[in-house]
Structure 1
Amino acid sequence: MLEEAREEFRSKVFTLIGAIPSGNVATYGQIAALAGAPKHARAVGYLLKHLPVESSLPWHRVINSQGKISFPPESDKFSEQSALLRSEGVQIQGGKVALRRYQWC
């Protein structure tokens, strides 16, 4: 039964992330709560960290609760996520997104 619950959570998380519109962001905690597991923000991060390379899921639209990109600022992934968000019109200042302006839902 536990494995079934994990798979259901995983499916909900991926569906929710896929529904985030271009030009918007959501937080790990927000996705976890919408998936029915409000205390499992880290599990959302874990799922995104282990996405298949060929995935088309818009992982870049998920950021932390402070509006920050979670990758280290000097990393390639930080640069990639920043570029993807900017290409969708999301402004990033100091590695941070204005949640009041861009947060989905």
Structure 2
Amino acid sequence: MLKRAALPAAALTVMAFFGIYAVLGPNGVLALGDYKRQLVKREQDYAALDQRRTMLRNRVALLDPRHANPDMVDELVRKELNVAHPDEVIVPLQR
């Protein structure tokens, strides 16, 4: 009688193992909520990076050597060389 019950008991044990793993495992049903939260955060990060890329693309377009924006060039030169006219007032901005 013990030999006849061994095969169904082994099958039930294997099915229970895979059932528990499907619920509690790293890719299980309970981990799905965490994956959704990570997805939302990554989408927010992507949106912020996309906005930053758009801003940088605009600044690069303003510095195109064929038709550079004089205000942008002036701003960058003054910033990099720390140059100002004697009659100018410089107001530092906190960022």
Counting strand residues as a fraction of each chain, which structure ranks higher? 1
TM-score range, shorter chain: under 0.3
Counting helix residues as a fraction of each chain, which structure ranks higher? 2
Query: Which one scores higher on RCO, CA 8 angstroms, separation ≥ 6?
Result: 1
The two structures have a TM-score, normalised by structure 2, of 0.24
